[in-house]
Structure 1
Amino acid sequence: MRLRDAVVVVTGASSGVGRATALQCAGRGARVVLAARNAPQLGEVARECRRRGGEGYAVPTDVADERAVRDLAMAAVARFGGIDVWVNAAGMGIPAGLEQAPGRDLRRLLGVNVLGAVHGARAAVPIMQRQGRGVVIDVASLLGTAVEARFVGGYAMSTAALVTFDEVLREELASVGEHRIAVCTVLPGGPRTPVVRPAVRRSGRAPWRPVSARPSECVARAVVRTAVRPRSRVLVGRYARPLHAVHAPPLAAVRRGSLWTAGRRVGRAAAMLVVRAAARHRMRA
């Protein structure tokens, strides 16, 4: 896909990875729809997008609100006629361990990090199906899937859920023969620094092993490459690939193992049915 004149929706666009992604897309001539709660910062990003040669259209949005996300999608279609790429980059962290984190904060975190992406996909996929094409990109992290998560358990839990959501969405689309929409998960080798910085300040320690948390611009470059050439999983960072290889067995192997196990269970069940039928036949005889 060429990004020039493509319509790219980016959530979390007021700062961090979302902002960097929006600016890099604009630099390639994309028409970028910017979503976040902070309207003044969105306006600044929109102006910077225009300075870089693209278009920037700010739509203040709380991604935890499903209706607001649907309105965001409709605003993109009304303004530019469609949606080519949807990037879920909105995220937050809680500066406390799971035992100390208030329930209200945990619900908000899951609402933004997980349900925000779910809302985005549910809003974007039907539009992409009508168009016959599209790319959905979720920015997650290896934190919670392959990296020890201390002091930021809520964030790690949400990224693990996001990875699972993407796998399920890919399978559901494939099951109905929809292969024109790519669902991509970008996995930096460490957490996004702006999201977890409060936890570092409070604890005085880094909440992960030293796996090189990637600068926002580096992760954004991976997002842009994924929009141009979609892949299911994109690892970002020097140590991301070996960590992922060690902690996450290849999905195809897991599927083959599951099918083999299921086949054995079915085979045993069928054998038992045959044995029981033979026993009943002998009793009648």
Structure 2
Amino acid sequence: MRMLKKLLNKSVVITGASSGAGRAAAIEFALCGAKLTLAARNEEVLDEVAAECRRLGAEVLVVATDVTDAKAMISLANAANYFFGRIDVWVNNAGVLAAGPFDEMPMAMHEQVIRTNLLGYMNGAHAVLPIFKAQKRGIIINNISIGGFIPMPYGAGYTASKFALRGFNEALKAELTPWPYIYVCDLFPAFLDTPGIQHAGNYTGKVLKPAPPVYDPRRVGKAMVDVAVRPQATRYVGSVSVLLKLAHAIFPQTMANATAGMVRTYLKQADEISKTDGNVYSTVNYGMSPYGGFGWPGKPRAHRKYIAAAALVGLATGLWMVNK
């Protein structure tokens, strides 16, 4: 009830709202009575999400937007501000993934991943900050993922974008200290059961799956609602994200090497598939649910056995390093 009261009639903009965590977040904010502006490249699917949110009682504006286009992002911010009279929360969520050996993927694909994951978030902040400064308040929520701390071998462009995004937001937070009611909140979820990996640019030639445990994307949506009510500079979503960050902080090269080894082992065993650009350059019309089908939809918590296994792996790695 507190969330409902705090967010009732608040104006919330969500990019990447057509599937995955963005779609899950739209539903969670709609349940709280927020007024929504939904953005993504796929307008047809956005209309479906909007209809679902309207059935929950939310007022919704749909604006088809490519986050890599700075002018389009300014138009998105202006449209939301004009339609609802203000913007209270801006959610940077749109992102893409490309996997494969770095030198076997076109540089154009690496560049597009960086344009979407890094410049897309920068475009969002650049578009909404003048509105927030005029209002003297506002909240930017960035869905970064634990990839902002943990390098992903065979996803070098993705890692570059996420590491850079974390640095950008740290600089922006410091810059905005004279504006005490403008908040920048970074979310670092662990692996999610979303269609994102199905949408990935895939140059491995093998079927891709997320590493367990995978978390329900609704958990990220609920975390976004929570920081919209109680802003936090940093929020980790899921115990595994904290464990992975700590393990990498203590044993950075060991973690990177181990991750690369696990990816290579998986790719040797995975089924073959044709190489694809996925949704990196343009939208797709498949897998537009919040869920990717890799976990158990509706379960808000990761399975404890996976968390325990991750802890044991971290402990074993530490012991190995000590005895090396």
Q: Give the TM interval when normalised to the shorter protein.
A: 0.7 to 0.9
Q: Which amino acid aligns with 2:90?
A: W
| Cα 1:243–1:200 shift into 2, 3 Å | farther
Q: CA deviation at 1:71?
A: 0.2
| Cα 1:13–1:206 shift into 2, 3 Å | closer
Answer yes or no: is 1:132 the counterpart of 2:133: no
Q: Which amino acid aligns with 2:218?
A: E
Structure 1 residues 201-216: aligned runs within 5 Å: 202-204=205-207, 206=209, 210=211, 212-216=213-217
Does the 8 Å contact 2:101/2:203 carry over to 1? no
> Which residue is equivalent to 1:115?
119
Question: Matched residues in 2 for 1:82 and 1:8: separation?
Answer: 9
Question: Matched residues in 1 for 2:163 and 2:193: separation?
Answer: 14
Task: Name the larger-Rg structure.
Answer: 1
> Which residue is equivalent to 2:72?
68
Q: CA deviation at 1:242?
A: 2.7
Question: Matched residues in 2 for 1:97 and 1:143: separation?
Answer: 17
> Which residue is equivalent to 2:225?
224
Q: 2:157 aligns with which of 151, 154, 159?
A: 154
Q: CA deviation at 1:211?
A: 5.5
Q: CA deviation at 1:120?
A: 0.4
Please report the TM-score for the alignment, with normalisation by the length of structure 2: 0.70
Q: Which amino acid aligns with 1:157?
A: A
Q: CA deviation at 1:123?
A: 0.8
Structure 1 residues 27-46: aligned runs within 5 Å: 27-46=31-50
Question: Matched residues in 2 for 1:93 and 1:191: separation?
Answer: 13
Which runs of 4 or more aligned residues in structure 1 lie more than 3 Å from their structure 2 counterparts after TM superposition?
197-207, 245-249
Q: 1:172 aligns with which of 171, 175, 185?
A: 175
Question: Matched residues in 2 for 1:191 and 1:218: separation?
Answer: 9
Does the 8 Å contact 2:146/2:245 carry over to 1? yes
> Which residue is equivalent to 1:5?
9
Q: CA deviation at 1:72?
A: 0.2
> Which residue is equivalent to 1:282?
none
Does the 8 Å contact 1:3/1:30 carry over to 2? yes
Structure 1 residues 60-99: aligned runs within 5 Å: 60-99=64-103
Would you say how many aligned residue pairs link Structure 1 and Structure 2? Answer: 244
Please list the CA deviations of residues 133-174 of structure 1 after superposition, one character each: whole Å capped at 9, or x if unmatched.
11001101112513x413222222211111111101001111
Question: Matched residues in 2 for 1:135 and 1:69: separation?
Answer: 17
Question: Matched residues in 2 for 1:166 and 1:104: separation?
Answer: 25
Question: Matched residues in 1 for 2:135 and 2:167: separation?
Answer: 26
Does the 8 Å contact 2:137/2:182 carry over to 1? yes
Please list the CA deviations of residues 71-96 of structure 1 after superposition, one character each: whole Å capped at 9, or x if unmatched.
00000011001110000110001132
| Cα 1:101–1:192 shift into 2, 3 Å | farther
Question: Matched residues in 2 for 1:201 and 1:21: separation?
Answer: 31
- SS class of match (1:121): helix
Question: Matched residues in 2 for 1:156 and 1:186: separation?
Answer: 16
Question: Matched residues in 1 for 2:192 and 2:117: separation?
Answer: 13
> Which residue is equivalent to 1:195?
196
Question: Matched residues in 1 for 2:205 and 2:171: separation?
Answer: 35
Q: CA deviation at 1:181?
A: 0.6
Q: RCO (CA 8 Å, sep 6+): is it higher in 1 or 2?
A: 2
| Cα 1:163–1:43 shift into 2, 3 Å | same
User: Which consecutive residues of structure 2, in runs of 5 or more, have no partner in the other structure?
Assistant: 251-324
- SS class of match (2:90): strand
User: Which consecutive residues of structure 1, in runs of 5 or more, have no partner in the other structure?
Assistant: 250-285
Please report the TM-score for the alignment, with normalisation by the length of structure 1: 0.80
Question: Matched residues in 2 for 1:200 and 1:5: separation?
Answer: 44
Does the 8 Å contact 1:149/1:156 carry over to 2? yes
Q: CA deviation at 1:132?
A: 1.6
Q: CA deviation at 1:14?
A: 0.7
